[in-house]
Amino acid sequence: MTGFNRRKFIKGAAAGGVGATAVAAPAIAQSMPEVKWRMTTSWPKSLDTLHGGAELIGRRVAEMTDNKFQIQVFAAGEIVPGLQVLDAVQNGTVESGHTAMYYYFGKDDAMVFLSGLPFGLNPRQQNAWLQFGGGLEIINDFLKQFNVTMFPGGNTNCQMGGWFSKEIKTVDDLKGLKFRIGGFAGKIVQKLGVVPQQFAAGDIYPALEKGSLDAAEWVGPYDDDKLGFVKVAKYYYYPGWWEPNSTSAFICNTEKFNALPKQYQEVLKSACAEANGWVSAKYDAVNPQGLKRLVAAGAVLKPFSPEVMDASWKAANELYKEISAKNAWFKKLYDSQAAFRSDAYLWTSVADFTMDSYMIRYRNAGQL
């Protein structure tokens, strides 16, 4: 038996390792098919947080598959208008989209739960309901009739109440107001005498400027500053009770999704989950400075009065009761979320609210 040659063994093992890697890597890569999708969004490119969330999904999918699975992202209007994303995905014009599903309440009022119910859940509660409260399972069961599958792909957090050309002190001040308000919430404010209007982001400014609109809401300070609303309306109200959170939906054609390899399906889910957190965190990071810029530019910051808030709450709950009586999907989603909401706000009131209220006192006193 010849002696053991350690140096020769190590050299041979290293060479064998390189050879094995050189053979294995291409084999793995070759086993992954090339897939190219398109994603159309409801956002202009200038809204780098909402549209940026969609771009993040496309980028991460490519990075995690060595560019084998690519999703090309298109802004609103490049393939279809911003409010036609669901139709484009449903009929297969594109494989996927990034949108706010409450835009499509005309197809079914239950669409509101896919974004955020007025007077519903805050962002953390919404994510908890979707992930652990059965929300996403019910939603995707509901969406089978539209041949689309949804994954949360961002959240704006609680939104602002919007821009008004006059002060809103009482419910009477709302009567006859031509108000751009997103999706389903228009049904609620209509009960208060408002004339709801639906405009895509890029069309709001000119409508305010020309007087076609008396008021408009979009998202919050960062985006509102980019869109220039302070130049054409003065009063900036809060909170946007119709969007205590607003989930941005990544939707894909169900047949196209089911045709993906399992690995690509999981990659896509992971990319959406990353975007869901990224959008929310970015808004929290950029909105404070956006608010400061708007106030410096002349925005008059005002809370909705208790009278307006209470009337809105009453109108919302009347509407939910009316719709639930005739829409089984709406009732199923409402019952699920309402039960979750009660316990969620119980917990929020104990820890988060108490801590936040304490720290806000010091901030307002200039001691933070």
Task: Tally Cβ neighbours within 10 Å of residue 176.
Answer: 11
The residue count for the chain? 368
Contact 133, 340 (CB under 8 A): yes
- CA distances for 219 relative to 30, 47, 83, 322, angstroms: 44, 10, 16, 28
Q: Which of 283, 247, 250, 291 is nearest to 127 (CA)?
A: 247
Contact 245, 116 (CB under 8 A): yes
Instruction: Give DSSP secondary structure letters for 125-172.
Output: HHHHHHHHSSHHHHHHHHGGGGTEEEEEEEE--SPP-EEESS---SGG
The C-alpha atoms of residue 219 and residue 50 are separated, in whole angstroms, by 10
pLDDT tens for the chain, 368 residues long, are 444 444 443 344 344 443 333 434 444 456 899 999 999 999 999 999 999 999 999 999 999 999 999 999 999 999 999 999 999 999 999 999 999 999 999 999 999 999 999 999 999 999 999 999 999 999 999 999 999 999 999 999 999 999 999 999 999 999 999 999 988 999 999 999 999 998 888 889 999 999 999 999 999 999 999 999 999 999 999 999 999 999 999 999 999 999 999 999 999 999 999 999 999 999 999 999 999 999 999 999 999 999 999 999 999 999 999 999 999 999 999 999 999 999 999 999 999 999 999 999 999 999 99
Contacts of 113 (CB under 8 A, 6+ apart): 135, 139, 330, 333, 334, 337
Pair type for strands 162-164 and 215-216: antiparallel
Output the CA torsion sign for 19, 22, 25, 26.
Answer: negative
What structural domains does the chain harbor?
A: 33-155+245-284 (3.40.190.170)
At 6 the pLDDT is: 43
At 30 the pLDDT is: 63
The C-alpha atoms of residue 323 and residue 109 are separated, in whole angstroms, by 8
At 28 the pLDDT is: 40
Extract the tokens encoding 221.
């300070």
At 4 the pLDDT is: 43
Angle between the 328-350 and 135-142 helix axes, to the nearest 10 degrees? 160
At 29 the pLDDT is: 53
Contact 75, 62 (CB under 8 A): no
Q: Is 198 helix (H, G, I), strand (E, B) or coil?
A: coil
Give the strands of the sheet with 195-197, arranged side by side.
Answer: 195-197, 178-180, 215-216, 162-164, 235-238, 300-303
Task: Tally Cβ neighbours within 10 Å of residue 62.
Answer: 17
Cis peptide before 239 (omega within 30 of 0): yes
Extract the tokens encoding 76.
């609103």
At 355 the pLDDT is: 97
Q: Which of 94, 25, 20 is nearest to 66 (CA)?
A: 25
- Exposure b/e, 194-207, CB count within 10 A at least 16 = b: bebbebbbbbbbeb
